[in-house]
Amino acid sequence: MNEPTRILILGGGFGGVYTALTLEKLLRAEIRRGEVELGLVSRENSIVFQPMLPEVISGSIGVLDVITPIRRLCPNTNLYTRTIESIDLAHRSVQSAVGFGSRAHHLHYDHLVVALGNVTSFAGSPGLAEYALPFKYLGDALALRNRLIHTLEEADIEPDPAVRRALLTFVVAGGGFSGVEAVAELNDFVRSAARSFRRVRPEEIRVVLLHAGGLILPELPASLATFAQSLLMKRGVEIRFNTRLVGATADMALLGDGDRIATRTLVSTVPSGPNPLVAMLPVKKERGRILVDASLEVPEYSGLWAVGDCAAIRDASTGEFCPPTAQHATRQAAAVAHNIVATLRGTPRKVFAFHALGKMGSLGRRSAVAEIFGLKVSGFLAWWLWRTIYLMKLPGLDRKIRVATDWMLDLILPPDIVQLKTERALGVRREYFEAGQVIFREGDRGDWLYIVTEGEVEVLKSVPGQGEQSLRRLGPGECFGEIALVSDVARSATVRALSPSNVLAVDREAFQAMFASLPPLKGFVEQLIASRSA
């Protein structure tokens, strides 16, 4: 028997899953006869319905109800739930990372559809990778919801007014659809959840949206954007226009105009960078996205196709590049599936053209803005349309029923404030400090050992009657904070960053495990303490 034609899809988002769905329909007979084999590789075994992700923050939709298992949607596709490590175009093979069995997969293909989306990239902005919460996947929404509840819990028992103010300040960067929808849900949630906390007063809560332009939602007509803007402000969201987020520390958002906002919750919905796998592909790109022809094939490699956020696709009807939306990704998926089948059968391919049906943005609490077939709608009607349309689009009947039930219960029940402790043990983390920022103070409890990787810090000790005296300066490759960890005493000095500094922080448990089991490290640390004490 002849080898089957292998069609491999990379990515389990809108682009990848809808390509598999359409191919299953178009090639039903060939798959049954074993002439065609479909495969899909994705990190997760489910597709996230991102338009509803903001509602996970407020809990108006259950955490698992915005994801649908790919296996149920595409029962005739072989699913490989693995991280892809490399794509070898010359040998037509894809390598995935090792799984439980510690064996990597090499998957060979005749046709490859790349639908890997883009990634949240904080490169070039100090501290964002460490302190800003991204907002793209289900885990991000869950982490944010937990952070909001955690900060309310902390604020409820925090006596220091400055710390309390930072805990009750929530900053979201990005005035596009995802930033606006996220800030609207966040604002509704913290303000209504705060009623369950005895010592948190509503007027203490501050929610800030940072937007680089002069009007939020630039994708929408100005009248709708103005409506959204006024509504958010009326509900207590402070909007900072023409303001970029340029960095972060553990307790501050650093703004482009030099201003700082003390906060413990910073969400960044910008910027998106190319997926590293896509960046490595030796094909032509347009702003980091794979450039394809009108049939969605990469001109330099036959059998290589790309759709969704990772592809630069010119719409034949407008001549413009398609925006990165789910609406476009699903249409491109259907078109690529059709063109792969046309190639297999030797029939004409279709040119990709799609008129977006409209744009919608939810503003929380029964309000939204929408432009549908050129018609502008705002307020309750837009919200009702938003819910109806997205409920229809949500893949899987069981998910539709669950979400509809969530929405009904949300009308009558108070918001859930249960915090799920999902964080794993830290061990080692990276931290960023601004020049002048205190890393720890004399007298603090010592939970971390720090290693300077970039910048310079100063160790200061208070001397009665003389204020703080500088003991030493430390640079890259030097460590501090070891005395409190080894002797289990409070910090014996204050450490402050002299210049913008990156450090590696090793937590108490990890440090003590290494200290006890690695004699050379024990010897080094003891010697260091002896020399510093002298």
Ligand X SMILES: Cc1cc2nc3c(=O)[nH]c(=O)nc-3n(C[C@H](O)[C@H](O)[C@H](O)COP(=O)(O)OP(=O)(O)OC[C@H]3O[C@@H](n4cnc5c(N)ncnc54)[C@H](O)[C@@H]3O)c2cc1C
Binding site for ligand X (CB under 6 A): 11-16, 41-44, 50-51, 53, 83-84, 115-117, 135-136, 177-178, 275, 277, 308-310, 324-327, 329
Nearer to ligand X, 237 or 460 (CB): 237
Q: How far is the CB of 19 from ligand X (least distance, A)?
A: 9
Nearer to ligand X, 4 or 324 (CB): 324
Distance, in Å, from the CA atom of 273 to the CA atom of 118, rounded to the nearest integer, reads 6
Nearer to ligand X, 116 or 148 (CB): 116
Nearer to ligand X, 329 or 457 (CB): 329
Dihedrals phi, psi of 472, to nearest 5 degrees: -165, 165
Which of 131, 113, 432, 433 minimizes the C-alpha distance to 301?
113
Q: How far is the CB of 196 from ligand X (least distance, A)?
A: 26
Count of beta carbons in the 10 Å neighbourhood of residue 443: 11
Nearer to ligand X, 194 or 290 (CB): 290
Nearer to ligand X, 371 or 458 (CB): 371
Distance, in Å, from the CA atom of 372 to the CA atom of 499, rounded to the nearest integer, reads 52
Nearer to ligand X, 308 or 364 (CB): 308
Which region holds residue 464: left if phi is over 0, alpha if psi is between -120 and 50, else beta? Answer: beta
Q: How far is the CB of 131 from ligand X (least distance, A)?
A: 19
Q: How far is the CB of 409 from ligand X (least distance, A)?
A: 23
Tokens of 88: 């070898």
C-alpha distances (whole Å) from 49 to each of 118, 338, 407, 435 are 16, 24, 16, 41
3-state helix, strand, coil in the chain (%, to 5): 35, 30, 35
Q: How far is the CB of 14 from ligand X (least distance, A)?
A: 4
Q: How far is the CB of 138 from ligand X (least distance, A)?
A: 10
- The amino acid that residue 119 corresponds to is V
Q: How far is the CB of 413 from ligand X (least distance, A)?
A: 24
Nearer to ligand X, 323 or 414 (CB): 323
- Classify 263 as helix, strand or coil: coil
Distance, in Å, from the CA atom of 252 to the CA atom of 266, rounded to the nearest integer, reads 8
| Burial (0-12, 13-18, 19+ Cβ within 10 Å), 473 | exposed
* Euclidean distance between the first and the last CA atom of the chain, given in angstroms as a whole number: 81
Strand partners, 379: 368
Distance, in Å, from the CA atom of 386 to the CA atom of 361, rounded to the nearest integer, reads 8
Distance, in Å, from the CA atom of 435 to the CA atom of 497, rounded to the nearest integer, reads 5
Nearer to ligand X, 4 or 218 (CB): 218
Nearer to ligand X, 135 or 432 (CB): 135
Count of beta carbons in the 10 Å neighbourhood of residue 290: 25
Q: What is the DSSP letter of 348?
A: P
Q: How far is the CB of 13 from ligand X (least distance, A)?
A: 2
Count of beta carbons in the 10 Å neighbourhood of residue 359: 18
Number of separate helices (H) and strands (E) present in the chain: 16, 34
Q: How far is the CB of 443 from ligand X (least distance, A)?
A: 43
Nearer to ligand X, 54 or 415 (CB): 54
Cis peptide before 271 (omega within 30 of 0): yes
Q: How far is the CB of 241 from ligand X (least distance, A)?
A: 22
Q: How far is the CB of 24 from ligand X (least distance, A)?
A: 17
Distance, in Å, from the CA atom of 357 to the CA atom of 26, rounded to the nearest integer, reads 25
Contact 37, 142 (CB under 8 A): no
Q: How far is the CB of 108 from ligand X (least distance, A)?
A: 17
Distance, in Å, from the CA atom of 29 to the CA atom of 24, rounded to the nearest integer, reads 9
Nearer to ligand X, 94 or 452 (CB): 94
Distance, in Å, from the CA atom of 274 to the CA atom of 281, rounded to the nearest integer, reads 11
